[in-house]
């Protein structure tokens, strides 16, 4: 790694990570109620990030990054050492500085060098720094074990003094861990301790041996008293000793709490202690493709094995082959699972970017919004994360721009003046559902109807129900904004969102109530590369249907199919299920089969559910979706192709497109629905 270009590459990768961390920490800092009291460990982490950036950028010759991070580091050093008080201008400067650094790193990464003017930023930092330096606290650390003071860094000494000054209880925790596991044990303990207060330092005692393990002394500043600590940590094998201005060894309240090994599974420490490797996602893609091929090869071997036992009966070779196939099946499965797992990253990474967008937009629009996030730990394939960012960004923009009202309008409507946008991720089986919900205006169906007519998207001789009207939102060229605003009027409509999500084999659903708010739900498979599919047959044609969009399958007879408004439907428990014959979709010739038996594959979500009618279900299989060539790429209803174990290539159905197709037909044939007339233009509750 001594070559300069490698070093630069490594620098960019680490810098991106640092900036991401920096961002998360800044957001954590901003989220505290009283922005002037910032968690010292968070502030220190931010300082360290700037410090590392400065050190590294200086060595790879990035002058601007180095200069900015240097100034930020100075500012942060003053902050963490209590020489500069935290304030809104300081916070803004940090955010701005971070954005600037991000931009610089991006332009370096794109090979464009350091493309930005840093002078205004330097001036801003200068100005904030001159905002009156507070004299550093110096309560004095008398009474503290001098041996301890010797190993505290300047910063840690300052934190110790701060805790003394603020009369916060100080405790020394002594804990012994086995050599093999001390890192994990200590990480666990740290996580627990952080919920009580500040860990000022962690000092390993010099003696360590395989028999005795290793002893650590931790200095903790906390508002909790000794009794509570003792009961809270009674499960952990440790000693807790109060320290402070007087250090007396062997005090009466010194306690030794023996206990069973800790079972606390919390390992949410910010700092990763396990060694990690950073890998280019492209390399993982290649590997996953290889595994995909392996899955196919495996299926071929399985097929041969089956044919062999079928043709020759049970021969020794046949049984051996069968065994070998099963072993291969297991290993390939493990390999695939492991590889997919490696590619999974928490969706929180996208959410953090969205938080920044909301921050910026709400300021631009003069709307105050509280973005509430949950489920950020939910994992999705890295490639999906990248693809989902833009659609989510668009939905959030949409909520901010069209959903959330201005402050005065909200007060008039009897709502709290700060709007709420909820961003949630929930894992449901092999799917992840992402919801963007606001407590704003809701979708005005009357307005949609009017606009729809103006744009020629709706026919004034027809009646539409709420679902049909909402679907118009996803039609190209539709926008209900009175004027194109800078925020969401970028020529991209919800149609693009829907299209992008359907490309990811996902579905979008909308729930809205006028005056109360709107909720967009996106359902996505957690990974795209290798998926389980249902293999079905229509006549002589074989198709694969991604299993994540299938909710169930039914066997029916032709008498179970009724025609309602020129449309085939069947009963599914208490509901009517619209049917779509795959034979009709692809204009396949009718075939005579002796039996009166049809299969209905129920796909889709909630009210967008339809039944695909096929002749037979051939089984379930793992498939690797390959994109079709140039010519077939945009064939409606087809998502791609795949190979089966018998070396046949078959088509994979695009469920989202088929549902859309079915809903469209629905549009033109719904004119006489008396219910629809009632619903139009009324508040919609879906």
The pairing of beta strand 169-177 with beta strand 213-222: antiparallel
Binding mask 155-174 for other proteins (x = CB under 8 A): xxx-----------------
Query: Which of these segments, 178-186, 282-290, 373-381, 527-535, binds other proteins (CB under 8 A)?
Result: 178-186
By CB under 8 A, tell whether 10 contacts other proteins.
Answer: yes
177: three-class secondary structure by DSSP:
strand
User: Within positions 136 to 155, which residues make up the interface with other proteins, using CB under 8 A?
Assistant: 150-155
Cα–Cα distance, 136 to 153 (Å, whole number): 16
| Segment interacting with other proteins (CB under 8 A) among 3-11, 239-247, 285-293, 590-598 | 3-11
**Cβ closest to other proteins, residue 211 vs residue 595:** 211
| CB-nearer residue toward other proteins: 85 or 204 | 204
Tell me: does residue 1 bind other proteins (CB under 8 A): yes
Is the CB of 45 or the CB of 501 nearer to other proteins?
45
- Residue found by looking up tokens 């006549």 in the block: 539
Q: Which is nearer to other proteins, 48 or 451 (CB)?
A: 48
Query: Which residue among 250, 261, 275, 594 contacts other proteins (CB under 8 A)?
Result: 275
In angstroms, the CA 128 to CA 120 distance is 12
- The radius of gyration computed from the CA coordinates of the chain, to the nearest angstrom, equals 31
Q: What are the φ and ψ backbone dihedral angles of 468, each rounded to 5 degrees? A: -65, -40
DSSP β-bridge partners for residue 518: 438, 512
Contact indicator for 543, 632 with CB cutoff of 8 Å: no
Residue number with CB closer to other proteins (9 or 359): 9
Distance CA 7, CA 14 (A): 10
Give the footprint of other proteins on residues 307-366 (CB under 8 A): none
Task: List the one residue from 77, 106, 560, 568 that touches other proteins (CB under 8 A).
Answer: 77
Residue given tokens 């840093």 in the structure block: 118
User: Closer CB to other proteins, residue 148 or residue 487?
Assistant: 148
In the complex, the smallest distance separating the C-beta of residue 175 from other proteins, rounded to whole angstroms, is 13
- Pick from 172, 85, 68: which is nearest to 120 by CA? 68
> Nearer to other proteins by C-beta: 182 or 233?
182
Q: How far is the CB of 227 from other proteins (least distance, A)?
A: 27
Closest separation in Å from C-beta 193 to other proteins: 11
List helix spans (H) across 110-145: 119-129
- Tokens found for residue 53: 């950036």
Dig out the tokens for 360 from the structure: 């910026």
> What count of other Cβ atoms lies within 10 Å of the Cβ of residue 653?
27
Smallest gap, in angstroms, from Cβ of residue 612 to other proteins? 50
Please name the residue that has the structure tokens 């400067």.
Answer: 93
Q: Which stretch binds other proteins (CB under 8 A): 4-12, 107-115, 253-261, 664-672?
A: 4-12
User: Rounded to a whole number, what is the distance in angstroms from the first to the last CA of the chain?
Assistant: 58
Interface pick for other proteins out of 42, 46, 50, 56 (rule CB under 8 A): 56
Which region, judged by CB under 8 A, interacts with other proteins, from 9-17, 108-116, 126-134, 569-577? 9-17
Alpha-carbon distance of 583 to 652, in angstroms, equals 15
Q: How many residues does the chain have?
A: 686
Beta bridge partners of 69: none
What distance in Å separates the CA atoms of residue 269 and residue 272, rounded to the nearest whole number? 7
Q: How far is the CB of 56 from other proteins (least distance, A)?
A: 5
Touching other proteins, residues 180-219 (CB under 8 A): 182-183, 186, 190, 199, 201-208, 214
- Min dist CB 135 to other proteins, Å, is 17
Distances (CA, A) of 251 to 98, 240, 241, 246, 367: 49, 11, 8, 11, 58
> For residues 11 and 520, which CB has a smaller minimum distance to other proteins in the complex?
11
User: Smaller CB distance to other proteins: residue 67 or 560?
Assistant: 67
Question: Which of residues 140 and 204 has its CB atom nearest to other proteins in the complex?
Answer: 204
Give CA–CA dist 388/378, Å, rounded.
14
Instruction: Answer for the pair 642, 545: CB distance below 8 angstroms, yes or no.
Output: no
CA distance 550 to 564: 24
Q: How far is the CB of 101 from other proteins (least distance, A)?
A: 15
What is the smallest separation between the CB atom of 15 and other proteins, expressed in angstroms? 8
What is the size of the binding site for other proteins (CB under 8 A)?
45
11/173 with CB nearer other proteins: 11
Q: Which of 606, 603, 613 is nearest to 569 (CA)?
A: 613
Q: Which stretch binds other proteins (CB under 8 A): 42-50, 167-175, 380-388, 516-524?
A: 42-50
Q: Is there binding between residue 14 and other proteins (CB under 8 A)?
A: yes
Interatomic CA distance for residues 469 and 667, integer angstroms: 10
CB 658 within 8 A of CB 603: yes
Kindly tell me which of 215 and 577 has the beta carbon lying closer to other proteins.
Answer: 215
| Binds other proteins (CB under 8 A): choice among 52, 235, 480, 646 | 52
Please, which contacts does 493-497 make with residues 24 or more away whose CB atoms are closer than 8 Å?
494/394, 494/398, 496/391, 496/394, 497/391, 497/394, 497/395
Q: Which is nearer to other proteins, 45 or 321 (CB)?
A: 45
| Smallest gap from residue 185 Cβ to other proteins (A) | 10
Tokens of 638: 């087809």
Cβ nearer to other proteins, comparing 185 with 236 = 185
Query: Which region, judged by CB under 8 A, interacts with other proteins, from 270-278, 373-381, 383-391, 556-564?
Result: 270-278
Q: Which one of 49-57, 87-95, 476-484, 489-497 is the stretch in contact with other proteins (CB under 8 A)?
A: 49-57
What are 214's two structure tokens? 């290793």
Binding site for other proteins (CB under 8 A): 1-2, 7, 10-11, 13-14, 44-45, 48, 51-52, 54-56, 58-59, 77, 150-157, 179, 182-183, 186, 190, 199, 201-208, 214, 271, 273, 275, 278
């Amino acid at each position: 790694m001594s070559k300069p270009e490698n070093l630069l590459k490594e620098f960019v990768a680490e810098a991106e990570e640092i900036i991401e961390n920096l961002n998360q920490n800044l957001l954590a800092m901003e989220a505290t109620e009283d922005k002037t009291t910032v968690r010292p460990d968070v502030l220190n982490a931010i300082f360290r990030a700037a410090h590392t950036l400065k050190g590294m950028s200086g060595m790879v010759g990035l002058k601007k990054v180095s200069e900015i991070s240097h100034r930020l580091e100075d500012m942060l050093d003053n902050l963490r050492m209590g020489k500069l008080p935290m304030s809104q201008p300081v916070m803004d400067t940090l955010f701005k500085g971070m954005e600037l650094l991000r931009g610089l790193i991006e332009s370096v990464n794109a090979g464009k060098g350091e493309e930005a003017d840093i002078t205004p930023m330097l001036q801003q930092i200068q100005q904030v720094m001159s905002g009156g330096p507070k004299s550093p606290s110096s309560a004095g650390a008398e009474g503290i074990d001098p041996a301890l003071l010797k190993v505290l860094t300047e910063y840690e000494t300052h934190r110790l003094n701060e805790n003394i000054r603020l009369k916060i209880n100080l405790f020394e925790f002594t804990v012994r861990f086995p050599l093999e596991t001390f890192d994990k044990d200590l990480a666990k303990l740290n996580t627990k301790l952080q919920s009580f207060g500040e860990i000022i330092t962690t000092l390993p005692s010099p003696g360590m041996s395989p028999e005795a393990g290793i002893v650590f002394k931790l200095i903790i500043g906390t508002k909790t008293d000794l009794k509570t600590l003792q009961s809270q940590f009674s499960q952990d094998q440790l000693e807790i000793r109060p320290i402070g201005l007087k250090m007396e060894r062997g005090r009466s309240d010194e306690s030794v709490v023996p206990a069973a090994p800790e079972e606390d599974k919390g390992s949410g420490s910010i700092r990763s202690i396990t060694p990690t490797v950073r890998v280019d996602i492209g390399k993982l893609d290649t590997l996953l493709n290889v595994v995909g091929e392996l899955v196919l090869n495996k299926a071929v071997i399985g097929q041969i094995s089956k044919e062999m036992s079928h043709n020759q009966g049970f021969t020794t070779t046949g049984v051996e082959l069968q065994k070998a196939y099963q072993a291969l099946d297991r290993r390939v499965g493990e390999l695939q699972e492991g590889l997919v797992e490696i590619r999974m990253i928490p969706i929180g990474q996208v959410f953090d970017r969205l938080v920044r967008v909301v921050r910026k937009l709400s300021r631009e629009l003069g709307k105050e919004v509280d973005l509430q996030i949950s489920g950020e730990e939910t994992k999705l394939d890295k490639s999906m994360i990248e693809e989902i960012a833009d659609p989510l960004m668009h939905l959030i923009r949409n909520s901010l721009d069209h959903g959330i009202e201005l402050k005065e309008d909200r007060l008039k409507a009897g709502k709290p003046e700060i709007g709420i946008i909820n961003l949630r991720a929930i894992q449901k089986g092999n799917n992840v559902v992402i919801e963007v919900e606001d407590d704003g205006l809701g979708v005005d169906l009357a307005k949609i109807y009017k606009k729809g007519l103006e744009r020629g998207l709706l026919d004034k001789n027809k009646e539409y129900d709420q679902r049909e009207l909402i679907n118009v939102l996803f039609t190209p060229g539709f926008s209900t904004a009175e004027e194109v605003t800078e925020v969401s009027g970028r020529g991209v409509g919800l149609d693009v969102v829907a299209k992008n999500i359907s490309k990811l084999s996902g579905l979008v659903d909308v729930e809205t109530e006028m005056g109360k708010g709107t909720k967009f739900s996106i359902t996505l498979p957690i990974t795209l590369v290798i998926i389980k599919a249902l293999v079905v047959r229509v006549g002589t044609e074989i198709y694969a249907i991604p299993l994540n969009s299938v909710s169930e399958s039914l066997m029916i007879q032709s008498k179970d199919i009724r025609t309602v408004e020129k449309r085939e439907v069947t009963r599914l428990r208490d509901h009517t299920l619209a049917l779509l014959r795959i034979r009709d979709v692809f204009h396949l010739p009718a075939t005579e089969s002796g039996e009166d038996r049809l299969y209905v594959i129920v796909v889709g979500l909630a009210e967008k559910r339809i039944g695909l009618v096929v002749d037979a279900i051939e089984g379930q299989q793992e498939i690797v979706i390959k994109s079709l060539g140039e010519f077939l790429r945009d064939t409606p209803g087809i998502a791609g192709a795949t190979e089966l174990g018998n070396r046949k290539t078959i088509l994979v159905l695009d469920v989202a497109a088929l549902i859309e197709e079915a809903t469209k037909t629905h549009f033109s044939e719904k004119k006489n629905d008396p219910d629809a007339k009632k619903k139009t233009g009324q508040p919609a509750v879906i």
